[in-house]
A and B are shown apart, each in its own frame.
Chain A
Amino acid sequence: MNDKQLPAPPEHRAYLPAVEPERQITDWGRSERVEGALDKTLYEFLYHYWFRVTVEGIEHVPSTGGALLVSNHAGALPPDAAMIAKAIKTEHTRPRPLHLTVEHFFKGYPGLSMLVSKLGGVPAHPANVHRLLHDEEQLVLVFPEGRKGTEKLYKDRYQLRRFGRGGFVESAMRARAPIVPIAVVGAEEAMPVFGHVRPLQKLTGLIYFPITPLFPWLGLAGAAYLPAKFYIRFLEPIPTDQWGEAPWDDKGLVQTVAEEVRARIQEELYDMLADRKSVWLG
């Protein structure tokens, strides 16, 4: 047998493309330049002065290896993703870039298609999440509520929507990456949605056309946020390698875990809201 001469089958990780330091855009389409420019100006201002973000439990974000961050999602033009990324960059002992999974809609809409991918948005395809989590060992942020979270009306604030079909749990299990639940308070009040204009949504081809306190009354300036006080709480990670060989085949288990993550975030939100004295001052 010549088996001995053959090298052991290497992991797929070994054949990932090398980092090209001359480039400013990653293979995912993320641009350091665009992201850095926004980070130094707008995000910096929003994080420190406008939303005055208070972060708890940043140590629950692992320093190495892939991890799936799961958060609640709110606001017509949701500021939560940018603030979570900024929180990791500012507070964590070993800051890492965060990839955000976005709906396929964003890849198909002119303008947004360019911008979202430059800022670290990746189409929410299971293969993409797996490559990021397992092969590249990166941090990935998902909002399982998706647009159901951002389009919900102000009267439904902090009521978590359905967590999809648990696809995010399946992805984490396959990648054997921990799930870090995140509870965000403040995004609901930063740009609350009071209603939707269906005909204008149809006309513009957007996923929704909301009515907020400033939009569409002030035109594009209506995309400004109200200065709500932000709290971001990272919760204890849930390891996904505790259920044996191929837990993703057990759809019941996947649903149970998804429901558990949702319940933990919901509980935490109630807890944080009970302590909050003022929407604007905290």
Chain B
Amino acid sequence: MKRRVLITGVSTYWGGRLAQELEKDPANEAIIAVSPDDPACALERTEYVRVGTQHALLRRIVHAAQIDTVVDTRLIVDSTTAGRVGRSLAHEMNVLGTMNVLAACGGPDSPVTKVVFKSSAHYYGCERDDPSFFTEDMQRPHPPRTRIESDIVEAEDAVREFAARNPKATVTTLRFCNGLGPDVRTSHTALLSLPAVPGILGFDPRYQFIHEDDMVGALHHAVVADVPGVHNVAPDGVLALSEIAGLLGKPFAPILPPWGTSLATALTSRMGVRIPDEVRQQLRYGRGLDNRKIKQSGYRFALTTRETVQAFAAALRLKPLRESGEAPYRYEREVEEFLRWSPSVHRDESGG
């Protein structure tokens, strides 16, 4: 089946990686990437349009290119990232941005038949009386604690509403657990890169980590297969933080006090170790997701949590060597346009 795909958030790691993955399959005859910022990784035949989430513009692109699949990887789910772009802008991108993207996909004359929405397990929050494994139909037991959490809940509400209004479209929401890998940057990768793994005294929380390749794999699975509804995406294996520290070959250092933890994290933030509220909650109570629904839909995780942590440990050991090597990718519009459109560029048949 031929597909014409639009990816939002290509300036984030996930959008870029997914575009690279989709490029490999000739069945994806058109791949359009939109984002207000330049793409984060090198793209072969993906066409990049610099545009925000103004729904009128997106709608024109969707209709003009006859897009049938929209993948929204734009959601900011990490407070550290949100802090970098600014809280209110992050909120705008998360909530209004999602509504705009959905508005561009909806309507009776829309060519869109599939929407894949990247969400986060922060949807469930992290509290004392949580179940050990969240299933997709569970509501969070308490109202959202942080801006990011309420953003995610609001954005998912918008997606649910869209799904109800557009019964013809296949709408997939993927709730990812914490990501880990050599190239992805989150609050957790920063903490696990420290010389010792910090924790809260008296707590050994349960964690799931998904490898970056599995994250891309799951997004790709949702594009290729039809998996309507909400799906938790977390690999097998829930590890205790002490176990993770052991796999990383680092000491587990429960240096944060169990009482007054937020004061302590405010202090560590000043010293450069950012522990946002969601991470603090996870360091206390941990979280587990039930992944049986996505496995039942046919997705096979390449790595378990344990293997993901081991792969991350290997990457950490190689990091000092790799950093001195290659320069990071930078998007150059003129070069990319030359490569794509110039008649002088020699292209083979499969290439665009």
Which A residues contact B (CB, under 8 angstroms)?
10, 12, 15-18, 20, 22-25, 27-29, 31, 104-105, 107-114, 117-118, 122-123, 125-128, 131
Contact = CB atoms under 8 A, between A and B. Distances in A.
B162 to A, nearest CB: 28
19 contacts: A12-B296, A20-B237, A23-B243, A23-B306, A25-B239, A25-B243, A29-B132, A29-B286, A31-B240, A104-B129, A108-B128, A108-B284, A109-B202, A110-B202, A110-B258, A111-B202, A113-B202, A125-B132, A126-B131
Contacts of A114: 202-204
A25 B204 CA distance: 12
| Interface SS of chain B | loop
A107 B128 contact: yes
Contacts of A29: 132, 204, 206, 238, 240, 286
B295 interface: yes
The 10 closest A-B pairs by CB, nearest first: A110-B202, A17-B236, A110-B258, A15-B292, A127-B131, A108-B128, A111-B202, A125-B131, A27-B238, A104-B129
A113 B237 contact: no
A105 B285 CA distance: 11
Contact of B292 (A12, A22, A112, A125): A12
A107 B285 CA distance: 7
Contacts of B203: 110, 113-114
Contacts of B150: none
A113 B242 CA distance: 13
Contacts, number: 89
Nearest to A125: B131
Chain B, interface residues (CB within 8 Å), range: 20 to 34
B177 interface: no
Interface in B217-260: 236-240, 243, 258-259
A12 to B, nearest CB: 6
B16 interface: no
Nearest to B135: A127
Given A20-B304, A123-B129, A127-B135, A25 B236 contact: no
Given A17-B236, A20-B304, A127 B133 contact: yes
B237 A27 contact: yes
B200 A110 contact: yes
Contacts of A117: 204, 206
Contacts of A17: 236-237, 291, 304
B175 to A, nearest CB: 16
A20 B201 CA distance: 28
